[in-house]
Structure 1
Amino acid sequence: MNKINCRIGIDLGGTKIESIVIDYDGNEIYRKRIPNPKNDYNATLNSIKDLVHQSESETGLYGTIGIGIPGIISKQTNLVKNANSTVLIGKSLDKDLELILGRPVRLANDANCLALSEYIDGSGEQYNSLFGVILGTGVGGGLVIDGKIFPGANLISGEWGHNPLPWPDLNELPGPECYCGLSGCIETFLSGSGLENTYYKISGETVSANVISEKIQNNDQDAIKAIELYENRLARGLAIVVNILDPEIIVLAGGVSNISRLYSNVKNIWNKYIISTDEDVVTPIVQAKHGDSSGVRGAAWLWPEL
């Protein structure tokens, strides 16, 4: 039997699959990213297998395997559900991977992986509780308390993106349709496409969230209006997180989290919606230290023991 001497993390994203190898102390040794073969489950399995084998052959190491997925494993069926990568839904992903890799595999929601990574050696390493937020293709959340992912009784802890946008204005009702089957979910407003839709309604122009970010830096007035509305919605959404969970720190990741003005402006808004309105809310909102790497690093850390 091969001796375990590293941790391998896999981040199964919507457009890419990324692997990382970290040593005992969390230092990165190897990384590779490949396109995700969309809508082909068997090709996805083989891509993960190839990444693991390449990681080990190029480093000469043999590792534990943790995988972050855009969904969760059903507690009743042990099959993937609630995944925005629909090819995974209804599949026994962990068991299928264990069969082709010949060793145990640990799976977790990608937002939980983000939260775990930032808790261990990221922006939240000095705190006891951390709520990690993904603002990207979707809107996810993960909760870590005292170094452990808190999955909840139904394994859906942190899924704040599929609650309705709180304190909505009349023009925000009933809200855009969400892939989950409901309308007005936080995700439909605060994802990258949510920001794009907001900008389109203001300007009549269809552009990407990255272009909107550039326009904000150039003081484009339509982009400023769009981000101000986005900040207000983000403040309302995160206020609910604070009111219910009251984490010691909130860490943001994902493409939209790179808009730097969010961090000060949201905190200037959210006091209005948080029950502790007679005092400033002390919870910091910060950007993920490891950025886009937080998810794949957290997947590797699903095996804290070696």
Structure 2
Amino acid sequence: MSQSGPSGFRIGIDLGGTKTEAVALSPSGEVVVQERVPTVKGDYKATISTITGLVNRAEDIVGQNCTVGIGMPGAASRDTGLVKNANSTWLIGKPLQKDLEMALNRPVRLQNDANCFAVSEAIDGAGKGAEIVFGVILGTGVGAGIAIRGECLEGRNAIAGEWGHNPLPAPLDDERPGPLCYCGRYGCIESFLSGPAFEREYSEAGGKKLTAREIKTLAATGDPLADATLKAYEQRLARALAHVINILDPDIIVLGGGLSNIRRLYDTVPMLWEPHVFSDSVKTRLSPPLHGDSSGVRGAAWLWPPTR
């Protein structure tokens, strides 16, 4: 099988629900190639083809074979090697790692996209130097990854950080039993805190069908309905993250995904989580990602350590 070149360039792929991104990193972590293409939803063969094309084009530019790390929704089962827990449901039950290794003729490292995000921000991002980083994805779905001293914590069942599919903590009466989640349960954190959930909350309260970005903009102008929707979101996010702090006690929580661009979250949520954290004070920081929406793809590349 092909191996990385002597100078240690690494390719990362972020397989998202709407876009698939590739980067090639130099040994020092500099992005030397970057490309984004739309994700072909519902088509597994097209997914393999898309990733193969991105890798081949990046290597043509770099001029050598590279290691390849893939960030994906869900995880590979430790029992079967097949994809599980992916909100990109056309991947579920597929031997993604095996098929990519055959297509690319080399070993491939596969990891949950939120884990890649956490590793990226722990290595050279907002959580650089922190012992425990909890990296949250607030996007089409809701997930999280855990990095300890810069390395991904997968867990015995490869589900460490699967925060989005726990019930929303301390639910209010009007939050029970909660919306139906794609996983088949009611009231998952994802069903309250994802981008589509935020948009649904606004429209069900009497608003028009707007995107999360449009609702955020309206809230900034003082629109009462948009502001109320955002306040409810902040309260739920605070309760959900307080639960994490009580269990993991991270140094920093880094928010990623489209909803991480709502700047007021970083001021309001730490104030709101304090009553729910079992401590006399809360020193956990809440931060946006240093690398923005390219953090996950950088983390995928970092799945291969630097060449010594």
Cα deviation for residue 15 of structure 1 reads 1.4
Q: Does 1:253 align with 2:256?
A: yes
Aligned equivalent of 2:290: 289
From 39, 42, 56, the counterpart of 2:59:
56
Q: 2:88 & 2:271 partners in 1: Cα distance? A: 35
Q: Unaligned 5+ residue runs, structure 2?
A: none
Aligned equivalent of 1:171: 174
From 143, 147, 151, the counterpart of 1:144:
147
- Match of 2:275, SS state, is coil
- Match of 2:287, SS state, is strand
From 28, 33, 37, the counterpart of 1:34:
37
Note the aligned Cα RMSD (angstroms).
1.1
Aligned equivalent of 2:20: 17
Written as runs of structure 1 = structure 2, the 5 A alignment for 1:149-298 is 149-276=152-279, 279-298=280-299
Cα deviation for residue 38 of structure 1 reads 1.5
From 81, 91, 94, the counterpart of 1:91:
94
Q: What are the superposed Cα offsets for residues 162-192 of structure 1, whole Å, 9 maximum, x if unpaired? A: 0111111110111000000000000011001
Contact kept, 8 Å, 2:27 with 2:306, in 1: the verdict is no
Q: Unaligned 5+ residue runs, structure 1?
A: none
Q: Which amino acid aligns with 2:94?
A: K
Q: 1:182 & 1:106 partners in 2: Cα distance? A: 30
TM-score by length of 1: 0.97
Aligned length: 304
Q: 2:292 & 2:78 partners in 1: Cα distance? A: 30
Cα deviation for residue 205 of structure 1 reads 2.1
Cα deviation for residue 259 of structure 1 reads 0.4
TM-score by length of 2: 0.96
Cα deviation for residue 280 of structure 1 reads 2.4
- Match of 2:29, SS state, is coil
Runs of 4+ in 1 over 6 A off after TM superposition: none
Q: Which amino acid aligns with 1:303?
A: W
From 102, 121, 126, the counterpart of 1:123:
126
Q: 1:290 & 1:130 partners in 2: Cα distance? A: 15
- Match of 1:39, SS state, is coil
Aligned equivalent of 1:301: 302
Cα deviation for residue 119 of structure 1 reads 0.3
Q: Which amino acid aligns with 2:256?
A: A
Q: 2:106 & 2:214 partners in 1: Cα distance? A: 44
Q: 2:232 & 2:50 partners in 1: Cα distance? A: 40
Q: 2:173 & 2:207 partners in 1: Cα distance? A: 21
Cα deviation for residue 37 of structure 1 reads 1.6
Cα deviation for residue 271 of structure 1 reads 0.8
Q: 2:210 & 2:196 partners in 1: Cα distance? A: 10
Cα deviation for residue 136 of structure 1 reads 0.5
Cα deviation for residue 202 of structure 1 reads 2.6
Cα deviation for residue 57 of structure 1 reads 0.6
Identity across the alignment (%): 53
Q: 2:213 & 2:298 partners in 1: Cα distance? A: 24
Contact kept, 8 Å, 2:142 with 2:189, in 1: the verdict is yes
Q: 2:140 & 2:56 partners in 1: Cα distance? A: 29
